[in-house]
């Protein structure tokens, strides 16, 4: 109950259909249940009537699966926004840039942010870092996010699980508290 008294906001970042596409760049991904876990967390937030903010990425590249003209731009079915839930659209990695998010949180007197979504080493990492730097008590839910294989500078593929672990470790304690969804849901009793 102590956690709920902090009036935490749930920030759902880029949980869009493009990340389900088998042809998404990088192809191999870890944590295929991330969106399902995000949906369970969202369900609990709705049940407790806490602040929910959906953020989606709108690529400026018309060939991107995240361009507004593509089916991948749509929200994943597990986390579709409902009436009265705020939806922000961004064009860069951070959910704070070009969206008015910081002002929205300040006006709502939100000081605690729980961040979930895609992908760990891109928009999640950038948003978590900014959240921590802006002074929010930030929680990243580790099993609510995922990575894809990535090409290294040497042209060799780096496994998604290595990227995921390194990304989470880089955020731990300095920018956010890292907990899993079970730990989060226990905090909300």
Q: Over the stretch 89-126, which tens digit does the pLDDT of each residue have? A: 999 999 999 999 999 999 999 999 999 999 999 999 99
Task: State the DSSP H helix or E strand holding residue 158, giving kind and residue range, or none if neither.
Answer: strand 157-158
Q: Over the stretch 16-39, which tens digit does the pLDDT of each residue have? A: 999 987 667 667 999 999 999 999
Q: Over the stretch 36-72, which tens digit does the pLDDT of each residue have? A: 999 999 999 999 999 999 999 999 999 999 999 999 9
pLDDT value at residue 23: 67
55: which strand partners?
13, 88
The arrangement of secondary structure in 4-187, i.e. its CATH architecture, is 3-Layer(aba) Sandwich (3.40)
Domain residue limits, the chain: 4-187
Whether residue 9 has pLDDT greater than 90: yes
pLDDT value at residue 189: 84
Q: Supply the angle between the helices 125-133 and 160-171 in degrees, to the nearest 10.
A: 0
List, in order, residues 6 or more apart from 106 with CB less than 8 Å away: none
pLDDT value at residue 27: 78
């Amino acid at each position: 109950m102590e956690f709920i008294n902090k009036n935490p906001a749930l920030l759902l970042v880029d949980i869009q259909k493009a990340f389900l596409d088998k042809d998404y760049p990088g192809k191999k991904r870890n944590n295929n249940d991330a969106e399902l876990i995000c949906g369970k967390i969202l369900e609990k937030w709705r049940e407790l009537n806490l602040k929910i903010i959906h953020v989606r990425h709108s690529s400026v590249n018309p060939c991107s699966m995240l361009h507004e003209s593509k089916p991948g731009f749509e929200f994943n079915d597990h986390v579709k926004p409902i009436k009265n839930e705020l939806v922000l659209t961004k064009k860069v990695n951070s959910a704070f840039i070009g969206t008015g998010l910081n002002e929205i949180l300040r006006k709502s007197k939100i000081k605690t942010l729980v961040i979930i979504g895609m992908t760990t080493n891109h928009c999640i990492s950038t948003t978590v870092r900014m959240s921590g730097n802006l002074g929010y008590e930030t929680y990243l839910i580790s099993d609510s996010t995922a990575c894809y294989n990535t090409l290294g500078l040497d042209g060799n593929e780096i496994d998604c699980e290595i990227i995921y672990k390194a990304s989470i470790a880089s955020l731990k304690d300095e920018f956010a508290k890292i907990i899993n969804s079970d730990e989060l849901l226990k905090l909300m009793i």
